[in-house]
C-alpha cells in the first residue's frame, strides 16, 4: 500500500486532536479522507478553508455536502475562499447576511460576475431595510449599492452616500437617467462640491426633467455648443427648456462672431505698414533759421582783455 494511502486511512479514523495536523496535508487524497472522518466539526472545516492553496476538488466536495453547509461559518468561509467554484459562490450568496455580502462585494479578489451578483442581492433588500442600515451602506457600501441609494433619494441617506468613496460617476449618471428622480437628488448633486464639477454630471442634470430651471440656467454657460445643439433637438427636452437652449446657442454664436471679427481687425492692424514721421514745412523752415543763427553766432567771441 502506498504511503499516501496509509495516510488517508489514518485520516478517516483519526481523533479530533490528530485531525488538526492532517488538515494541512499537501495530498488531496488525504484531505478527501479527512472529510469522511466523523470527528470533523465546524472548527476543523473553517481551519481547512483558511488554506489559500486548497485544491478546487476539496472545495467542491465541501460545497456538495449539506451537513457541512448547515454551519453559517462554513458557508461564509467557503464563499470567501479565492478558489471557490463559481456555481457554489452564486448559490451561497443568497444565504449571506447583509454585512457579509458587503464585505464580499468589496473584496478585490472577487470576480466581476460574483461582485455584481452580490451587489444586486444587497440592492434587492433595500426596500425592506431599516434606515440605520441604509445609512451604514451609504457610508461604506459598494458602487452599485451607493448608486441605488442616490436614486432612492432619502433625505437622511443622500448627504452620506454622496461622500461614499466607492460611488462612481457612472452610478451617479445612472441615477440621473431615471425617469422620476426626486428634485432633492438633483439639487444635492448640483450643489455638491465634487459632483457639480463633473461635466458629464452637469450635462445629465440639464437633461433631467426634474431639474429646476434656475439650476439649468446656471449650468448652460458651462456646456459646449455641440452638446447644447444636441439637447435642443426636438424631443430631447421639453419645449420651455428648448427655448433657453436655442437662445444660449444663438448668444454663443454671436459672441464667437464678434470675437473673430475683433481678432481679424487686430491682425490687419499689425500687418499694415506704419507711416514714417515727416516733419511739416513749418518745422523745416524753423530748422533752417536755427542753423543760420548758429552760423552767425558760432564764431569765437572776443574777450575784454583782447579788445
Cell of 294: 548758429
Question: What percentage of the chain carries pLDDT values higher than 70?
Answer: 88
State residue 144's pLDDT score.
96
* Model confidence, pTM: 0.76
Contact 160, 135 (CB under 8 A): yes
pLDDT bracket for residue 282 (50, 70, 90): low
Q: Considering the chain, what is the average pLDDT of its residues? A: 87
DSSP character at residue 238? -
pLDDT bracket for residue 49 (50, 70, 90): very high
Please report, for the chain, the start and end positions of each structural domain, with discontinuous segments joined by +.
1-95, 189-267
The mean-pLDDT minimum among 50-59, 71-80, 273-282 falls in 273-282
Alpha carbon distance 150, 54 (integer Å): 40
For residue range 291-307, what is the model confidence (pLDDT) as tens digits?
Answer: 555 444 444 444 444 43
Rounded to 10 deg, the angle between the 42-49 and 56-64 helix axes is 150
pLDDT bracket for residue 237 (50, 70, 90): confident
State residue 306's pLDDT score.
40
Distances (CA, A) of 14 to 1, 27, 291: 19, 16, 131
Q: What secondary structure does DSSP assign to 131-172, as a single string?
A: HHHHHHHHHH--HHHHHHHHHHT-TTTHHHHTT-TT--HHHH
Does residue 43 have a pLDDT over 50? yes
Alpha carbon distance 278, 207 (integer Å): 65
Look up cell 441609494; give the residue: 149
Look up cell 488517508; give the residue: 8
Cell of 257: 462672431
Q: State the average pLDDT over residues 14-24.
A: 89
Alpha carbon distance 236, 230 (integer Å): 8
The mean-pLDDT minimum among 20-29, 118-127, 187-196, 255-264 falls in 255-264
pLDDT bracket for residue 113 (50, 70, 90): very high
Does residue 90 have a pLDDT over 90? yes
Contact 204, 177 (CB under 8 A): yes
Alpha carbon distance 304, 307 (integer Å): 5
Q: State the average pLDDT over residues 87-98.
A: 95
Look up cell 446657442; give the residue: 249
Alpha carbon distance 268, 254 (integer Å): 21
Look up cell 449599492; give the residue: 145
Does residue 217 have a pLDDT over 60? yes
State residue 277's pLDDT score.
56
39 exposed, middle or buried (CB, 10 Å; 0-12, 13-18, 19+)?
middle
Instruction: Please name which of 130, 137, 201 lies closest in space to residue 166, comparing C-alpha atoms.
Output: 137
State residue 280's pLDDT score.
53
Contacts for 65 with CB less than 8 Å, ≥ 6 apart:
35
Query: What's the alpha-carbon Rg for the chain, to the nearest Å?
Result: 41
Alpha carbon distance 109, 80 (integer Å): 9
Q: State the average pLDDT over residues 142-157.
A: 95
What is the phi/psi pair of residue 263, to 5°?
A: -65, -40
State residue 273's pLDDT score.
61
State residue 272's pLDDT score.
67
Contact 245, 219 (CB under 8 A): no
Q: State the average pLDDT over residues 112-128.
A: 95
Amino acid at each position: 500500500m502506498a504511503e499516501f494511502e496509509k495516510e488517508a486511512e489514518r485520516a478517516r479514523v483519526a481523533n479530533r486532536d490528530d485531525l488538526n495536523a492532517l488538515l494541512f496535508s499537501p495530498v488531496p487524497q488525504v484531505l478527501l479522507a479527512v472529510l469522511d472522518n466523523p470527528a470533523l466539526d465546524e472548527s476543523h472545516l473553517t481551519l481547512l478553508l483558511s488554506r489559500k492553496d486548497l485544491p478546487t476538488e476539496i472545495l467542491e466536495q465541501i460545497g456538495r455536502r449539506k451537513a457541512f453547509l448547515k454551519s453559517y461559518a462554513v458557508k461564509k468561509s467557503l464563499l470567501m475562499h479565492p478558489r471557490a467554484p463559481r456555481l457554489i459562490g452564486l448559490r451561497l450568496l443568497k444565504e449571506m447576511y447583509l454585512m457579509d455580502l458587503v464585505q464580499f462585494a468589496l473584496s478585490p479578489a472577487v470576480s466581476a460576475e460574483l461582485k455584481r451578483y452580490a451587489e444586486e442581492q444587497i440592492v434587492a433588500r433595500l426596500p425592506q431595510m431599516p434606515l440605520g442600515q441604509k445609512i451604514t451602506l451609504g457610508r461604506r457600501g459598494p458602487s452599485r449599492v451607493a448608486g441605488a441609494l442616490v436614486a432612492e433619494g432619502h433625505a437622511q441617506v443622500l448627504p452620506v452616500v454622496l461622500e461614499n468613496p466607492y460611488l462612481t460617476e457612472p452610478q451617479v449618471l445612472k441615477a440621473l437617467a431615471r425617469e422620476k428622480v426626486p428634485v432633492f437628488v438633483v439639487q444635492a448633486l448640483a450643489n455638491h462640491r465634487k459632483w457639480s464639477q463633473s461635466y458629464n454630471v452637469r450635462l445629465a442634470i440639464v437633461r433631467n426633467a426634474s431639474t429646476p430651471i434656475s439650476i439649468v440656467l446656471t449650468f448652460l454657460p458651462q456646456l459646449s455648443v455641440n452638446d447644447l445643439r444636441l439637447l435642443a433637438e426636438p424631443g430631447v427636452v421639453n419645449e420651455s427648456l428648448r427655448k433657453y437652449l436655442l437662445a444660449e446657442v444663438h448668444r454663443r454664436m454671436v459672441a464667437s462672431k464678434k470675437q473673430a471679427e475683433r481678432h481679424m481687425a487686430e491682425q490687419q492692424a499689425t500687418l499694415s505698414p506704419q507711416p514714417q514721421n515727416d516733419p511739416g514745412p513749418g518745422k523745416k523752415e524753423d530748422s533752417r533759421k536755427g542753423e543760420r543763427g548758429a552760423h552767425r553766432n558760432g564764431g569765437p567771441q572776443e574777450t575784454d582783455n583782447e579788445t
